[in-house]
Amino acid sequence: MNGKTALITGISGQDGSYLTELLLSKGYEVHGIVRQTSSLIANTSRLDGVYQDPHEPERRLFLHKGDVTDAGMLVNLVRDIRPDEIYNLASQSHVQVSFDLPEYTANVTALGAIRLLEAVRASGVDTRIYQASSSEMFGPAAPPQDETTAFHPRSPYGVAKLYAHWATVNYRESYGMFAVSGIAFNHESPRRGETFVTRKITRAAARIAAGIEKRVYLGNLEAVRDWGYAPEYAEAMWLMLQHDEPVDYVLATGRAATVRDFAEAAFAHAGLDWRDHVEHDERYERPAEVPELVGDAAKIGREIGWRAEVGWDRLARIMVDADLAALADRG
């Protein structure tokens, strides 16, 4: 035990699960907000490795039913837990979905952040806050993008993230809160949701190699992304809240590839030629695309010492291996 308490919104997501493991390993008491669904008490499969039964006397992981659209719930929870650190990872995080559900995305992703900031203010708790900002806020800005690059979001998701980002800056400047944004470029892992392009590709490559499927349908193959490895980004979030000063940082690898390059590498690692299995479907094209995101994370390297080690090609191999292993386990 290190005597510290953290609250994570979005604990059941990709990043939330890695951050939970990291904080538990550092001796934190970890609290997370999980959503009730019609068929499950909560979607907690990514937390299976660290889940603790409520009857466990030494328990350090606590899951609370809630939602970032419920302001009263957030105030009560922050007041009860009195966390030293809050990580706001809750979001409708899928860019394409945000074009179909723009108002819902704004409610969760933009207003969720301000509800949480207000909950901290209303409860009077002295806490440090991490806001999960996104490289999607840069839109078509020329790469490499860094902390000085002008924002130009190109999706309802990007617009919502920009609101949350500026709200975080504003609460820092207005109320002196230790509130910071990590402007994270794409980061992936075997726990990535199956509709994001990297996981869609690695899962398809594994299933095609196993003879379960024959092809996968993708949209724009020319988009360039700076794909990093999610556990390393969880470490950066934690480091930002340990820093002396509240400072916003870009989190990125600095290396990038096209969707086509990623597909080629993933299929090759599964022993396949991507050209035999990838087909185009325009339904996966977006009304407005972000063509090229490549981050320059020199500032956090200089000031905090964080650097991403895993680049997109190694990441593709890690994800294909995990998807192949999951199929083998299933028998």
Contact mark string toward ligand G4F, 223..242, x via CB under 6 A: x-x-----------------
Q: Does 105 bind ligand G4F (CB under 6 A)?
A: no
**How far is 331 from 329, CA to CA, in rounded Å?**
5
* From 185, 229, 274, 312, residue interacting with ligand G4F (rule: CB under 6 A): 185
In whole angstroms, the minimum distance from the beta carbon of 13 to ligand G4F comes to 10
Q: Which of residues 46-105 bind ligand NAP (CB under 6 A)?
A: 67-69, 89-93
Indicate the DSSP class of residue 295: B
How many angstroms separate the Cα of 327 from the Cα of each of 49, 60, 201, 213? 19, 32, 15, 13
Strand, helix or coil for residue 251: strand
Q: Which of residues 3-42 bind ligand NAP (CB under 6 A)?
A: 9-10, 12-16, 33, 35
In whole angstroms, the minimum distance from the beta carbon of 112 to ligand NAP comes to 6
Q: Residue 271: left if φ>0, alpha if ψ -120 to 50, beta else—which one?
A: left
Residue 304 has which token pair? 């905090």
Which residues, in sequence order, are bridge partners of residue 129? 86, 179
In contact, 297 and 307? CB cutoff 8 Å: yes
In whole angstroms, the minimum distance from the beta carbon of 195 to ligand NAP comes to 10
**Annotated catalytic, 157?**
yes
126 contacts: CB under 8 Å, gap ≥ 6: none
Q: Does 165 bind ligand G4F (CB under 6 A)?
A: no
CA angle 160, 9, 163 (to 5 degrees): 15
231 contacts: CB under 8 Å, gap ≥ 6: 18, 22, 189
Q: Which of residues 108-137 bind ligand G4F (CB under 6 A)?
A: 134-136
In contact, 221 and 239? CB cutoff 8 Å: no
Q: Does 93 bind ligand G4F (CB under 6 A)?
A: yes
Q: Does 123 bind ligand NAP (CB under 6 A)?
A: no
In whole angstroms, the minimum distance from the beta carbon of 26 to ligand G4F comes to 25
In whole angstroms, the minimum distance from the beta carbon of 186 to ligand G4F comes to 4
Residue ranges in contact with ligand NAP by CB under 6 A: 9-10, 12-16, 33, 35, 43, 67-69, 89-93, 108, 132, 134, 184, 186-187, 193
Tell me which residues are annotated as active site.
134, 136, 157
Residue ranges in contact with ligand G4F by CB under 6 A: 93, 95-96, 134-136, 185-186, 195-197, 200, 218-220, 223, 225, 259, 284, 286, 289, 293
